[in-house]
Amino acid sequence: MYLEIVSPEATLFAGEVTSVTVPGVHGEFQMLKDHAPIVSLLQEGKVKFVGNVTLEKEHADKFTKDENGNTVLPISSGTVELKDNKIIVLAD
């Protein structure tokens, strides 16, 4: 699965991942390979993803790792779209 996280300033992450968890307005949900297409609003929370993640130096300070080894990005709001195993998160 390919994940792209875009903020108003820059593309914060782009790469292959195995799972993505986002803070939907009706609760947190996870997307895995071959998930049905979806578009959803996001609320304040954390975008978490798993994979062989390489972060760009200029944006690495925005991300942390949690106790389960997930790469985590806090967001205040946004949207997510998943189609054909490509996830685009537009994050504020």
Q: What is the pLDDT of residue 41?
A: 98
Residue 39 makes CB contacts below 8 A (sequence gap 6+) with 79, 80, 81, 82
**Domain regions of the chain by residue span:** 2-91
Strand partners, 71: 49, 65
pLDDT tens per residue across span 70-91: 999 999 999 999 999 999 999 9
pLDDT tens per residue across span 31-54: 999 999 999 999 999 999 999 899
Fold topology of 2-91? ATP Synthase; domain 1 (2.60.15)
Are 44 and 75 in contact by the 8 Å Cβ rule? The answer is yes
Q: What is the pLDDT of residue 61?
A: 96
